[in-house]
Amino acid sequence: MAAPVYPAWVTRWVSGQWRQKKRPPVIRPTRPLVLANKVANRREQTGEATCITEMSVMMACWKQNDFNDTACAEEIRMFYDCVAKAEKERKDQNEDILSSRGNLSSSKVNKLLRRFPQITRYV
């Protein structure tokens, strides 16, 4: 009895030769591989709430005195001083170019990309 005759692709598949001829697929990007000239605006990380205790003391004083500002002048002044101090600290922190994690904010990245736009064509 003669051995059965199989198509050529079956013998290649059984012997493992098909693996040797297989090449990795060619990757064609859908967009050009350059940076964009802007990034999406994202929210900055929200900081901790400040002056909560001063605000609650001020509101408790208002409630006790029927919302009279003159009776709660000291508490109001303490609250405004705390707010001014927190605002000053926030501005000082924003002057640093890097955030606490070492990343640039999206507005600063956009400003840098406007200064140094991507070259898309050669002269």
CA distance 55 to 69: 14
DSSP codes of every residue in 53-97: HHHHHHHHHHHHTTS-TTTTHHHHHHHHHHHHHHHHHHHHHHHSS
Cβ(107)–Cβ(42) below 8 Å = no
Q: Where are the domains of the chain?
A: 50-94
Per-residue pLDDT band at 44 (split at 50, 70, 90): low
Q: What is the pLDDT of residues 51-77, one digit of tens each?
A: 999 999 999 999 999 988 899 999 999
Looking at every residue in the chain, the average pLDDT score rounds to 80
62 to 50, 56, 84: CA distances (angstroms):
20, 10, 21
pLDDT of 1 over the 80 cut: no
Per-residue pLDDT band at 96 (split at 50, 70, 90): low
- Centre a 10 Å sphere on the Cβ of residue 92 and count the other Cβ atoms it contains: 9
Q: Quick one: pLDDT at residue 25?
A: 72
